[in-house]
Structure 1
């Protein structure tokens, strides 16, 4: 959602760097702005009057007529009503920057039919979308911006499924700073959406309702060569109507991509769901807080991609979980996962061998690029922490798995398992085994594992597990299984 909000204004502002404008606001300047904006559009759209620009006192008014944008869509497969033009204002400042602002709303309904699928009816409404920002022609992007929406509502309904979603409102902020390398920029964003509600129903699945008091989000991208990315986007738009690139254009695109590499030096994003609840006929659950984060960082020849998920104060109530097992439902969960040592330098070198003219070598070059992403075909997966806590257990796992991208059989693993109050866990399983004899095996396995455990200073049981590529297994230095 926040990406859509920023795109609505950054794409508009992008064109303001395409020409120099006099300080006076006049029709000639408006025509220049309009011509620059249409350069960002496919040729089939640019000539239809989708964008118009007019002088408006000390600024320019830019009007987007979405009806004209969609007039060539086949009416038998897509129809929409309620579309009205959106406008924004752009004011040149004495500093060479531009101030941009707008206040629009949306209330549309329609339907579409995908090939082989039943008709889907939809509605989409935004009570108000308000934004203001500062555009810098030197980097061809917004330097800063503040965005907000009032109530947002969406619904989609077909013969088999029905989905609706809404927010009470949303706020979003953009900031930027010069990157460490010349010609690059660091961008950061943050915001919050309040009163999230989603309802899902279908013929196969009972209705589900998802709520969150608030969704907070933040993201940052560092080292973006903004102008070079802009040029690649403009090149793509300029050739959007071509079925395949000519040889000279393919070479030009490769040169642009090579010059822009690496496209960034790091990226991170976090999303927090506050007071998340899920309700359905099968049961109810939720968590006080659910946090998701993703990171991409490190040198281009040793990049790390990581994902994390944390849930706190989890609750769950369902008839499918007998009361005797409720103590085993985790109260806290944490998952950290990463793919390490990816070589994007080698990937980029191989990728640029792709034949962008659509030649037969394109697919093979793309496959080789993926193979070179992992050095020597080696895949390294890191699990810094996987943990779960309930009323009867407290367990944590960390480790690394090394394998190959071309087979699932050739791998090795080093892992550490930690458990607190293992006797309490064993006792809980033994109690359940009184009514479920199959759990006696679980109880026996836990007691055997306890026999291999070491005790850490904090009282937790520890198992250092090593699985070699030859199939041998050791636990805390003891050989459990020999080589295959």
Structure 2
């Protein structure tokens, strides 16, 4: 949601990119701003009168009539009511930058039907959307901005499913700085949403309700060639209705992509759900904190992509889980996954061999993916997977090597660590008194303990190696020979 609002506001600000010299606020200046905006919009949008600009005292008022974007849509497949124009105000600063601000709302409803899909009814409400920022014509984007929304709600409904989601309020901030390379910019945004609520119901699944007191987030992208990316987006939008791209246009798009590469130098995002709860007829659960993070960084020929999820103070109550097993429900979970050493430089070279006019073979995409992973080798790292409850404390780290062209050739190096393993075995043995099948689990844990090494901190350790030939060793002992 926040990214869509930032993007929408920033696109609006593009109206000023070619009119920075218009110091006097008059009708002629308003016309210049309007013309500059229509030049930056897709051709099919610009000609429909989507935007109008008027002098308003010491600033310009820019009005966007979103309903005109829908003129060419078949009313039999898409309908919408309540879509009113939005406006923003732009004031030229002595520095050559522009101050932009707006206060709008949204209350629309409608329906759409895709081919072969059921009809969907929707509603989208934003009580207030307030923003202010500083626009820089040199980069065609906002240098900074403050955004706030109040009472945002969305709902969709089909014959089989109904979903609604919203939050009470949201505030977030956008900042920027010069990138390390000429012509690039670094952007960062951070903020928080309060009172999140989502409800899901369907014929097959009992109603589910998801709540969070607050959702905190932060994101940053570095080394973005803003103007070049904008030009690519506008080029694609201008040709979106064409079934087949002309050869000359395809070559132009390749040139634009090549000139903009590598598009960015790094990206990261974190999201924190605070006091998250999930309620349903099947049971209730939640976590004091649920954190998600994703990062992309490194050189273009050795890029690392990483994802991490952490949950603390987990709670779970359900008739599905007998009370005797409640101690095995984890209180803490952590998962880290990474794909290192991706060669986006080689991927880009191969991708730009694709014939965008549609004449390329089906192997073009496969070749690009193969070059993304050097020599066709895919490496997946699991720096940490851990789970903690009152009866176990386990941690796994691993590296898996395989190939993109087959699922057979793979190898793995892993380390398993366990604290208080005797407590875990005792807990399983207690359950085995009423469930004899768990005796096998208890026996397996005792066998595993026999292979374990003891670390200085008292944890049991198992270093596991699975070779491509199928052989398996644990702490140097051969458990299985080659296939």
Match of 1:344 in 2: 344
Match of 2:365 in 1: 366
In 1, the alpha carbon distance for the partners of 2:68 and 2:421 equals: 68
Match of 1:154 in 2: 154
- Per-residue CA deviation, residues 2-37 of structure 1 (Å, 9 max, x unaligned), is 111101111111232134432101112211211222
Q: Please tell me whether residue 113 in structure 1 is matched to residue 113 in structure 2.
A: yes
Most deviating of 246-255 and 131-140? 246-255
Match of 1:402 in 2: 401
Alignment of 1:373-392 (within 5 A): 373-392=372-391
In 2, the alpha carbon distance for the partners of 1:89 and 1:240 equals: 30
In 2, the alpha carbon distance for the partners of 1:304 and 1:274 equals: 28
In 2, the alpha carbon distance for the partners of 1:22 and 1:15 equals: 12
Q: Please tell me whether residue 251 in structure 1 is matched to residue 230 in structure 2.
A: no
Q: Please tell me whether residue 309 in structure 1 is matched to residue 309 in structure 2.
A: yes
In 1, the alpha carbon distance for the partners of 2:479 and 2:207 equals: 49
Match of 2:412 in 1: 413
Match of 1:135 in 2: 135
Structure 1 unaligned spans of 5+: none
Q: Do the aligned partners of 1:43 and 1:241 also contact (CA within 8 Å) in 2?
A: no
Most deviating of 36-45 and 117-126? 36-45
Most deviating of 313-322 and 131-140? 131-140
Q: 3-state DSSP class of the match of 1:88? A: strand
Match of 1:450 in 2: 449
In 1, the alpha carbon distance for the partners of 2:381 and 2:269 equals: 19
Alignment of 1:9-408 (within 5 A): 9-361=9-361, 363-408=362-407
Q: 3-state DSSP class of the match of 2:89? A: strand
In 2, the alpha carbon distance for the partners of 1:22 and 1:116 equals: 51
Q: 3-state DSSP class of the match of 2:40? A: coil
Q: Do the aligned partners of 1:161 and 1:203 also contact (CA within 8 Å) in 2?
A: yes
Q: 3-state DSSP class of the match of 2:122? A: strand
Most deviating of 46-55 and 325-334? 46-55
Most deviating of 295-304 and 16-25? 16-25
Q: CA deviation at 1:184?
A: 1.1
Most deviating of 65-74 and 50-59? 65-74
In 2, the alpha carbon distance for the partners of 1:481 and 1:116 equals: 51
Alignment of 1:424-443 (within 5 A): 424-443=423-442
Measured at CA, do residues 386 and 215 of structure 1 come closer, stay the same or move farther in structure 2, by a change above 3 Å? same
Q: CA deviation at 1:248?
A: 2.3
Q: How many residues align?
A: 483
In 1, the alpha carbon distance for the partners of 2:125 and 2:230 equals: 31
Q: 3-state DSSP class of the match of 2:301? A: coil
Q: Do the aligned partners of 1:42 and 1:241 also contact (CA within 8 Å) in 2?
A: no
Q: 3-state DSSP class of the match of 1:151? A: strand
Q: Do the aligned partners of 1:40 and 1:237 also contact (CA within 8 Å) in 2?
A: no
Q: Do the aligned partners of 2:354 and 2:360 also contact (CA within 8 Å) in 1?
A: no
- Per-residue CA deviation, residues 176-230 of structure 1 (Å, 9 max, x unaligned), is 1111112111100001100000111111110000000000000000111112112
Structure 2 unaligned spans of 5+: none
Q: 3-state DSSP class of the match of 1:205? A: coil
Q: CA deviation at 1:114?
A: 2.2
Q: 3-state DSSP class of the match of 1:298? A: strand
Q: CA deviation at 1:367?
A: 1.8
In 1, the alpha carbon distance for the partners of 2:239 and 2:200 equals: 40
In 1, the alpha carbon distance for the partners of 2:245 and 2:32 equals: 29
Q: CA deviation at 1:118?
A: 2.8
In 2, the alpha carbon distance for the partners of 1:97 and 1:272 equals: 34
In 2, the alpha carbon distance for the partners of 1:268 and 1:458 equals: 34
Most deviating of 44-53 and 190-199? 44-53
In 1, the alpha carbon distance for the partners of 2:78 and 2:244 equals: 27
- Per-residue CA deviation, residues 436-464 of structure 1 (Å, 9 max, x unaligned), is 11111110110000001011111100011
- Per-residue CA deviation, residues 393-415 of structure 1 (Å, 9 max, x unaligned), is 00000010011111111111111
Q: CA deviation at 1:117?
A: 2.8
Q: 3-state DSSP class of the match of 2:6? A: helix
Q: 3-state DSSP class of the match of 1:168? A: strand
Q: 3-state DSSP class of the match of 2:155? A: strand
Match of 1:476 in 2: 475
Q: CA deviation at 1:296?
A: 0.3
Runs of 4+ in 1 over 4 A off after TM superposition: none
Q: Do the aligned partners of 2:112 and 2:120 also contact (CA within 8 Å) in 1?
A: yes
In 2, the alpha carbon distance for the partners of 1:68 and 1:276 equals: 40
Q: Do the aligned partners of 1:291 and 1:311 also contact (CA within 8 Å) in 2?
A: yes
Using structure 1 for the length normalisation, give the TM-score.
0.98
- Per-residue CA deviation, residues 294-322 of structure 1 (Å, 9 max, x unaligned), is 00011111111100000000000000001
Q: Do the aligned partners of 1:42 and 1:240 also contact (CA within 8 Å) in 2?
A: no
Match of 1:463 in 2: 462
In 2, the alpha carbon distance for the partners of 1:465 and 1:364 equals: 37
Q: Do the aligned partners of 2:200 and 2:209 also contact (CA within 8 Å) in 1?
A: yes
Q: Do the aligned partners of 1:21 and 1:29 also contact (CA within 8 Å) in 2?
A: no
